[in-house]
Amino acid sequence: MLGLEKKDATLLLVVIALALAAPILLNPFPTESAMAQFNAGYPDLMQKFAIYGIFAIGFNILFGLTGYLSFGHAAFLGVGSYSAVWMFKLLSMNVIPALVLAVLVSSLFALVIGYISLRRSGIYFSILTLAFAQMSFNLAYSVLTPITNGETGLQLSLDDPRILGISQTADGGIPLTSLFGLAMRDSVAVKLGGWSFEFSVGYYVCAILMLVCFYLAMRIFRSPFGLMLRAVKTNQTRLNYTGLNSRPYTLAAFVISGMYAGLAGGLLAAMDPLAGAERMQWTASGEVVLMTILGGAGTLFGPVLGAGFIKYFENIFSKINDSVLQNWFGFLPDGVENVVLWVVEHFVGPGWHLTLGLLFMLVVIFLPGGLMEGGQRIAGLLRGKRKSGGDGGGDDPEYHPGQTPHVAE
């Protein structure tokens, strides 16, 4: 199917099914129940899953395949957002031209930055990309204020030209972003017993784009081009000795992943038409690194999983506050309860980043392959048990795959 092997086709179908049914799957608890706070099936959050999924898939094409660790990918996200908002200001509120421009501009940026940064590898490459991203961030805050609107961030206003659209709606408001008349904010709520599912246009636009990106990434992974990128990761020196110039390949990978980031940035702006410089800060670059590693760098589905995982827990953990905790642990004796509360409150609410940091460290230390490797090990463990033991050596849960030498060495 679609030029994929059977295994990949199955994975793609599963991902398509998951993405299309997400508004239902992510709302497993009835709206009135106490567990409703764990529901993730509302448009804002699901859009983030899809958008950061795209961002991470793109980052993975660079990091997962070539081993080049870029610490400046957020620059492309920010550039994408700015170009999309400008398109909304100047042309029309249709998202298509905005997304096209976002991808084009970010690919140009990636081409320039990649061309320079890829002259070096390893930690020097990381520092170079970081330097470029920080430069973009600082300039967006200061000198480029006419383009970026500095600290306030770029926003739509009532007197924007919007040549192909309208400057303001009949009742004097700013028009909404839309896809040929379908506003991104539009949604259909379906009530079913105690459950309520919300199907929003914005989410489905993001999800379909994410699926397209996922499919393209799959094709890249399985292509001769993808093999070449893996060869770069495994041993670039040897590759060069065979007479191949690896730089066009790495540059292509860099530009592709920059385009993915630009698309994600454009989508962020399409869902909520404003763009701020903080999207380009290096913490944002760090976030996508976290997502990719947490999910499993170099795997197809890992980055999406990591992005969803981080965004979900970011939302849920930061919502848990003292009263919720007291509800949960109220059954414990007072003394024990206080101790438990004291420990737990470090990790929830505003302390969510602490949880993230710890989790990330644990993953890097014990599961270099990320959540995907964890899943495989558990699956292997279960299969091993079913196999009546004896030859379980191959399924040893303590088995660590040998380190693939990174370019960074």
The neighbour count for residue 352, using CB atoms within 10 Å, is: 19
The span from the CA of 374 to the CA of 111, in Å, is: 36
Instruction: State which residue, 161 or 405, has the beta carbon closest to another protein.
Output: 405
Q: For residue 305, report the phi and psi dihedrals to the nearest 5 degrees.
A: -60, -45
Tell which positions 202-221 bind another protein, by CB under 8 A.
none
Tell which positions 272-291 bind another protein, by CB under 8 A.
282-283, 286, 289
* Residue of 357, 376, 378, 379 interacting with another protein (CB under 8 A): 357
The span from the CA of 357 to the CA of 210, in Å, is: 27
Nearest Cα neighbor of 51 from 237, 304, 325 is 304
User: Which residue reads 């009835």 in tokens?
Assistant: 30
- Residues contacting residue 386 through CB under 8 Å, at least 6 positions apart: none
**141 near another protein, rule: CB under 8 A:** yes
Are 271 and 175 in contact, with CB atoms under 8 Å apart? no
Instruction: State which residue, 219 or 406, has the beta carbon closest to another protein.
Output: 406
Residue 300: CB minimum distance to another protein, A = 20
The span from the CA of 87 to the CA of 97, in Å, is: 7
* Residue of 19, 228, 293, 305 interacting with another protein (CB under 8 A): 293
User: Which residue reads 């706070």 in tokens?
Assistant: 37
* Residue of 120, 238, 319, 383 interacting with another protein (CB under 8 A): 120
Helix axes 352-366, 302-319, angle to 10 degrees: 150
* Residue of 30, 153, 351, 380 interacting with another protein (CB under 8 A): 351
**383 near another protein, rule: CB under 8 A:** no
Give the pair of three-digit tokens for residue 50: 């899809």
Select the span of 34-42, 269-277, 298-306, 354-362 touching another protein (CB under 8 A): 354-362
Site map 389..408 versus another protein, x via CB under 8 A? --------------x-xxxx
**375 near another protein, rule: CB under 8 A:** no
Which residues form the interface with another protein (CB under 8 A)? 67, 69, 116, 119-124, 126-128, 130-132, 134-135, 138-139, 141-144, 236, 282-283, 286, 289, 293, 346, 350-351, 353-354, 356-358, 360-361, 364-365, 368, 403, 405-409
